[in-house]
């Protein structure tokens, strides 16, 4: 299993490295380099995000039926084709369609990779596995963004084409690396039995699982209150209310990534033997404090230097919270899922994440730009909501689900929190 996990993690990091080359420059590429204007650039970014909402509802069942490996290989090929097409697109229609293909491919990769990590790990190691993936993906995104910034030249469209070709190559490498992974045999919807009956229940089974529903609500609030604000509401607030230079936002994002990279494994050692629900609750408090610091930056009437330092500190505090979430939330999704529905559970959570990332900028952007006080108060309350929901979720989890270190053996003992109404025999076969 060690070799399989290493290959999956390397492939995941390389794909993030490829994304880092293009995502920070997508708006500039469409609006300025191709001369299609801000409106078209906004549509391209929206289509890139919305493509995920179109494909994720169907992804989970396909993963459970066909296996995550085959789905990942197809998704990486689709994403590579989308990246190449976008890199050579010069018109509105071709840019929008290319963005849709790229967005769909990258969206499907997420639950496929997560399911592969679940299949190649157990409850005792899953916390560290997902923390490692988060660390490597952030490192890849950061290095890719820095490298891409050295290569681009707004006056030379060909320099951006090179970035998209590099991104496509990384997706191809991910597919090739994935093809060498030998996945363990597990139950699936196509093999029959009670586990298959559970999987075929699909959305009905998932919605009857109250712990998973509560975790999805928690996930929406998490991504809405943090990730959905980074490049929209918080950026608008920082420039409009705090008066920081746009270039400082890049420094703040770099500080966010630096904290994640530097703190991830230190934080992991501190939290991997603690209750997941309590760790997530602490993240809510840390982020509430981060929003208070942001409030000081824009509303505290301090010096410009203090406001700048406060905004950078806000992004850094978000990074600390992110490093605490990576070993808790994603492994918990896996541990709640029946074996035959791991793909559907991962896809459902990815869909919730994407919804939050779509709604977050739409709500936070206008508020951050003009309603400075209400904006800060709103997101302080959302962050405290994370704490409240996490503590309530903890009451629905088994002791081992909430703290996997309590497991006496490396097995997925999560059956007692199966979807309500499932027979006891499912517990025996699915876990």
| pLDDT tens figures, 202-255 | 678 888 899 999 999 999 999 988 887 876 788 788 888 888 876 677 788 888
Q: Please, which residues have CB within 8 angstroms of residue 250's CB and are 6 or more apart in sequence?
A: none
32 pLDDT above the threshold of 90:
no
Q: What is the mean pLDDT of residues 376-396?
A: 94
More confident residue, 212 or 365: 212
Predicted local distance difference test score (pLDDT) of residue 231: 66
Burial class, 91, CB count within 10 angstroms (exposed 0-12 / middle 13-18 / buried 19+): exposed
More confident residue, 144 or 172: 172
Which residue from 1, 429, 425 is spatially nearest to 188, judged by alpha carbons? 429
What whole-number distance in Å separates Cα of residue 315 and Cα of residue 92?
34
Predicted local distance difference test score (pLDDT) of residue 80: 94
425 pLDDT tier (thresholds 50, 70, 90): very low
What whole-number distance in Å separates Cα of residue 284 and Cα of residue 386?
5
**At which residue do the structure tokens 């994370």 appear?**
386
320 pLDDT tier (thresholds 50, 70, 90): very high
pTM, rounded to two decimals = 0.80
What whole-number distance in Å separates Cα of residue 407 and Cα of residue 412?
9
Q: What is the mean pLDDT of residues 383-405?
A: 91
317 pLDDT tier (thresholds 50, 70, 90): very high
More confident residue, 244 or 57: 57
DSSP 227: G
Neighbours of 396 (CB within 10 A): 18
Q: Please, which residues have CB within 8 angstroms of residue 86's CB and are 6 or more apart in sequence?
A: 22, 95, 98, 99, 102, 164
DSSP code per residue over 148-213: HHHH--TT-HHHHHHHHHHHHHHHHHHHHHHHT--PPP---TTS-SHHHHHHHTHHHHHHH-HHHH
Predicted local distance difference test score (pLDDT) of residue 422: 47
Q: Please, which residues have CB within 8 angstroms of residue 377's CB and are 6 or more apart in sequence?
A: none
Predicted local distance difference test score (pLDDT) of residue 411: 41
Q: Please, which residues have CB within 8 angstroms of residue 71's CB and are 6 or more apart in sequence?
A: 59, 62, 63, 108, 112, 343
Q: What is the mean pLDDT of residues 146-158?
A: 78
Q: What is the mean pLDDT of residues 377-383?
A: 93
Predicted local distance difference test score (pLDDT) of residue 298: 83
Lowest-pLDDT range of 168-177, 269-278, 411-420: 411-420
Q: Please, which residues have CB within 8 angstroms of residue 21's CB and are 6 or more apart in sequence?
A: 144, 145, 147, 148, 163, 164, 166, 167, 170
410 pLDDT above the threshold of 60:
no
Predicted local distance difference test score (pLDDT) of residue 200: 57
Predicted local distance difference test score (pLDDT) of residue 365: 80
Predicted local distance difference test score (pLDDT) of residue 20: 80
Mean pLDDT of all residues belonging to the chain: 83
Q: Which of 78-82, 306-310, 352-356, 369-373 has the highest mean pLDDT?
A: 78-82
Predicted local distance difference test score (pLDDT) of residue 202: 67
Say what the alpha-carbon torsion angle 74, 79, 80, 85 is, to the nearest 10 degrees.
130
């Amino acid at each position: 299993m060690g070799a399989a996990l290493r290959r999956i993690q390397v492939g995941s990091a390389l794909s993030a490295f490829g994304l880092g080359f293009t995502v920070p420059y997508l708006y500039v590429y469409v609006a300025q380099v191709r001369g299609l204007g801000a409106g078209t650039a906004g549509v391209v970014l929206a289509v890139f995000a919305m493509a995920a909402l179109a494909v994720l509802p169907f992804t989970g069942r396909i993963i459970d039926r066909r296996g995550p490996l085959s789905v990942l290989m197809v998704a990486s090929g689709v994403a590579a084709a989308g990246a190449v097409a976008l890199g050579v697109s010069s018109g509105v229609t071709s840019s929008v369609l290319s963005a849709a293909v790229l967005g769909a491919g990258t969206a499907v990769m997420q639950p496929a990779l997560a399911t592969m990590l679940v299949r190649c790990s157990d409850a005792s190691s899953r916390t560290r596995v997902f923390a490692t993936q988060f660390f490597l993906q952030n490192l890849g995104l950061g290095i890719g963004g820095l490298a891409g910034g050295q290569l681009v030249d707004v006056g030379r469209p060909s320099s951006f084409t090179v970035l998209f070709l590099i991104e496509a190559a990384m997706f191809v490498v991910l597919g090739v690396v994935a093809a060498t992974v030998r996945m363990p045999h597990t139950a699936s919807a196509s093999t029959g039995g009670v586990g298959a009956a559970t999987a075929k229940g699909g959305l009905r089974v998932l919605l009857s699982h109250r712990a998973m529903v509560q975790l999805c609500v928690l996930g929406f609030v998490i991504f809405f209150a943090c990730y959905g604000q980074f490049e929209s509401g918080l950026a608008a607030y920082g420039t409009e209310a705090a008066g920081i230079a746009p270039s400082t936002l890049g420094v703040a994002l770099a500080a966010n990534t630096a904290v994640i990279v530097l703190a991830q494994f230190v934080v992991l050692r501190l939290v991997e033997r603690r209750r997941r629900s309590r760790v997530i609750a602490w993240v809510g408090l840390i982020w509430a404090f981060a929003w208070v610091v942001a409030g000081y930056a824009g509303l505290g009437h301090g010096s410009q230097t203090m406001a700048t330092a406060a905004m950078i500190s806000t992004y850094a505090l978000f990074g600390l919270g992110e490093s605490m979430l990576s070993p808790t939330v994603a492994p918990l999704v896996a541990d709640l899922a029946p074996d035959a529905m791991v793909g559907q559970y991962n896809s459902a959570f990815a869909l919730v994440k994407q919804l939050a990332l779509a709604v977050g900028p739409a709500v936070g952007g206008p508020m951050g730009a003009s309603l400075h006080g209400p904006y800060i108060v709103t997101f302080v309350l959302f962050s405290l909501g994370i704490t409240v929901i996490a503590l309530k979720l903890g009451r629905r989890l088994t002791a081992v689900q909430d703290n996997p270190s309590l497991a006496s053996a490396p097995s997925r003992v999560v059956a007692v929190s199966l979807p309500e109404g499932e027979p006891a025999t499912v517990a025996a076969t699915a876990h």
